[in-house]
């Protein structure tokens, strides 16, 4: 236990030494055991045996989601199937799913990485962790579960769905840590309030560890107010492990990377050039000690930056900033790049509006049109037409001023936008020839 805690405060030159040894091992393992990597390295003229510094990894070719899909299901595995203890998959909603394999060693690392989030939340054996990420092939449920068990928490494997039962268990069992997507946490909060409950009094929650989708600072503040707890962001993806790659501490000033298990780069998504700390770009990850499905320079498509300097909490692992969005969910509106989270930030400056919204993309006269549908907050008069029209115009003006683009706003009744037990569907693409 002491050894695990010490790793979080190692001087960074020692962390880099660990990363270097791990990266070298991963490169050789991939080259010798995964035909895809041997072919790709040879094509690029990259010699995995000649790496002398961490910076040399920039000479290696990238790995993409499509590469993993092309090698579905097991061609990216670096160990025999007899050594694989568990398999997880992405949803595959936009194509062939990506597959991740886990040896016993990999599962231990996964549990330890998520358990760090519990430690960052000042949690441990006195906590009851309520996990309502979905269990199964999706990494969320079991990743959080393994973390709770590893941290010594009493862990409740609720999985997703049946919100009123979730609320009853939260009340009756006195859960102190809630793990689910932020949008589902908001749905729990809104449902509890609609049931006449006061979460501040009826729940014992003190921390939420929420990930799997981007959320704005304003959304976080709204969630913290409704559930009277502190929200910590967690990052992960099936292709590299699952939730726990990086997690916020109580400073809420960036997510600490598990740098003893992952080497991170930030690149320009257009040129592939590695960017210095502090600059925004696409996160690229290389595993340093994953056995079953190691990856080299995996392009996550997630937009973030490495935050310069050390965290006030005293932990020395570098931090990534909270995600701006993904390169593949970025909207280009009349030549301007816009992320849904930026729209949300503007929207949440108006107290009459709730946290529930959808961005609809349509085609009118062969031109793309963007409409923001946002729910009125409960308690405000939706039937007052002039008030609604005024709010719509006010939000359109705010969006124009903040984002330099025109977005049509349509305010809708409370609870008219579909809720999800998992990730919220923020962008609905109805354009011609897209679906």
pLDDT tens profile 8-40: 999 999 999 999 999 999 999 999 999 999 999
Q: Write down the pLDDT at residue 220.
A: 93
**Do 399 and 379 fall into the same domain?**
yes
**Do 248 and 236 fall into the same domain?**
yes
**Do 139 and 232 fall into the same domain?**
yes
pLDDT tops 70 at residue 334: no
pLDDT tops 90 at residue 51: yes
Mean pLDDT (whole number) for 50-74: 96
**Do 364 and 227 fall into the same domain?**
no
Domain that holds residue 414: 331-429
Does some domain include residue 360? yes
* CATH number of domain containing 13: 3.40.50.12780
Does some domain include residue 434? no
**Do 292 and 339 fall into the same domain?**
no
Does some domain include residue 113? yes
26-30, 62-66, 336-340: least confident range: 336-340
Give exposure, 290-326, as e/b (b: 16+ Cβ within 10 Å).
Answer: bbbbbbbbbbbbbbbbbbeeebebebbbbbbbbbbbb
Which residue has better confidence, 95 or 331?
331
Q: Write down the pLDDT at residue 435.
A: 45
**Do 396 and 266 fall into the same domain?**
no
How confident is the model over 83-95, as pLDDT tens digits?
999 999 986 544 5
Compute the mean pLDDT over every residue in the chain, rounded to the nearest whole number: 91
Q: Domain tally for the chain?
A: 2
Mean pLDDT (whole number) for 124-153: 96
- Beta-bridge partners for 155: 129
Does some domain include residue 435? no
| Alpha carbons 339 and 337: distance in angstroms, whole number | 7
**Do 147 and 227 fall into the same domain?**
yes
Does some domain include residue 105? yes
| Alpha carbons 261 and 52: distance in angstroms, whole number | 19
Q: Write down the pLDDT at residue 380.
A: 78
Measuring CA to CA, which residue among 149, 109, 146, 142 is closest to residue 128? 149
Mean pLDDT (whole number) for 246-271: 97
| Alpha carbons 411 and 199: distance in angstroms, whole number | 27
Mean pLDDT (whole number) for 205-224: 91
Does some domain include residue 356? yes
The most confident of the ranges 211-220, 240-249, 409-418 is 240-249
Whole-angstrom CA distances from 322 to 13, 49, 241, 299, 304 are 25, 35, 19, 17, 6
Q: Write down the pLDDT at residue 67.
A: 96
Identify the helix (H) or strand (E) that includes residue 391: helix 385-403
Q: Write down the pLDDT at residue 1.
A: 34
- Long-range CB contacts for residues 165-171, cutoff 8 Å, separation at least 24: 166/130, 166/132, 167/191, 167/192, 167/195, 167/197, 169/130, 170/130, 170/203, 170/205, 171/197, 171/202, 171/203
Cis peptide leading into residue 73 (ω within 30°):
yes
Among 328, 357, 383, the domain-final residue is: 328
**Do 423 and 300 fall into the same domain?**
no
Measuring CA to CA, which residue among 267, 393, 282 is closest to residue 330? 282
Helix (H, G, I), strand (E, B) or coil at 111: helix
Among 270, 295, 328, the domain-final residue is: 328
pLDDT tops 60 at residue 105: yes
Q: Write down the pLDDT at residue 127.
A: 98
**Do 198 and 269 fall into the same domain?**
yes
215 CB-side CA count, 13 A: 28
**Do 282 and 341 fall into the same domain?**
no
Measuring CA to CA, which residue among 326, 355, 265, 364 is closest to residue 94? 326
| Alpha carbons 360 and 182: distance in angstroms, whole number | 21
34-38, 152-156, 392-396: least confident range: 392-396
Mean pLDDT (whole number) for 112-137: 96
Q: Write down the pLDDT at residue 432.
A: 60
**Do 26 and 4 fall into the same domain?**
yes
What are the strands, taking DSSP E only, across 218-342? 230-237, 242-248, 255-257, 262-267, 281-287, 298-304, 306-307, 319-320, 325-326, 331-333, 336-338
Angle between helices 385-403 and 340-347 (to 10 degrees): 130
| Alpha carbons 255 and 170: distance in angstroms, whole number | 27
Does some domain include residue 180? yes
Mean pLDDT (whole number) for 174-188: 94
Per-residue pLDDT band at 356 (split at 50, 70, 90): confident
Among 308, 328, 348, the domain-final residue is: 328
Whose tokens are 């080299």? That residue is: 296
Per-residue pLDDT band at 2 (split at 50, 70, 90): very low
* CATH number of domain containing 407: 3.30.300.30
**Do 389 and 420 fall into the same domain?**
yes
Residues 118/177, Cβ–Cβ less than 8 Å: yes
In this structure, what is the dihedral angle of CA atoms 102, 137, 143, 175, given to the nearest 10 degrees? Answer: -150
Does some domain include residue 97? yes
Which residue has better confidence, 191 or 428?
191
Q: Write down the pLDDT at residue 3.
A: 54
Measuring CA to CA, which residue among 168, 230, 219, 174 is closest to residue 195? 168
């Amino acid at each position: 236990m002491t050894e695990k805690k010490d790793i979080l405060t190692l001087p960074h030159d020692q962390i880099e030494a660990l990363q270097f040894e791990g990266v070298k091992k991963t490169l050789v393992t991939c080259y010798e055991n995964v035909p895809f990597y041997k072919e790709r390295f040879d094509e690029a003229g990259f010699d995995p045996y000649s790496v002398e510094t961490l910076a040399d990894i920039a000479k290696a070719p990238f790995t993409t989601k499509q590469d993993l899909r092309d090698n579905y299901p097991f061609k990216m595995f670096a160990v025999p199937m007899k050594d694989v203890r568990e398999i997880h998959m992405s949803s595959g909603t936009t194509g062939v799913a990506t597959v991740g394999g886990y040896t016993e060693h990999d599962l231990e690392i996964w549990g330890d990485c998520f358990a760090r989030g519990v430690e960052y939340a000042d949690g441990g054996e006195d906590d009851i962790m309520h996990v309502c990420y979905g269990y199964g092939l999706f990494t969320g449920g079991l990743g959080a579960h393994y973390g709770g068990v590893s941290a010594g928490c009493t862990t409740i494997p609720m999985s997703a769905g049946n919100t009123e039962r979730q609320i009853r268990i939260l009340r009756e069992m006195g859960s102190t840590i809630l793990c689910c997507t932020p949008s589902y946490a908001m749905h729990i909060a809104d449902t509890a309030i609609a049931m006449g409950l006061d979460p501040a009094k009826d729940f014992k929650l003190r921390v939420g560890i929420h990930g799997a989708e981007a959320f704005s600072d304003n959304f976080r503040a709204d969630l913290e107010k409704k559930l009277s707890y502190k929200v910590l962001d967690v990052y992960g993806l099936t292709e590299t492990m699952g939730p726990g790659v990086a997690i916020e501490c109580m400073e809420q000033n960036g997510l600490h990377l598990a740098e003893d298990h992952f080497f991170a780069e930030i690149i320009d998504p257009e040129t592939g050039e590695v960017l210095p700390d502090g600059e925004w770009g696409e996160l690229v990850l290389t595993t340093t000690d994953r056995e079953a499905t190691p990856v080299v320079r995996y392009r996550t498509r997630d937009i973030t930056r490495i935050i310069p300097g050390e965290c006030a909490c005293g932990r020395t692992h570098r931090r990534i900033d909270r995600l701006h969005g993904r390169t593949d969910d970025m909207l280009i509106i009349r030549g301007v790049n816009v992320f849904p989270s930026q729209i949300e930030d503007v929207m949440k400056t108006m107290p009459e509006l709730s946290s529930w919204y959808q961005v609809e993309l349509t085609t009118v006269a062969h031109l793309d049109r963007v409409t923001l549908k946002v729910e009125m907050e409960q308690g405000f008069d939706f039937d007052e037409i002039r008030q609604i029209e005024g709010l719509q115009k006010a939000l359109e003006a705010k969006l124009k001023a903040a984002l330099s683009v025109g977005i049509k706003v349509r305010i809708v009744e409370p609870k008219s936008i579909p809720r999800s037990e998992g990730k919220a569907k923020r962008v609905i693409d109805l354009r011609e020839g897209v679906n």
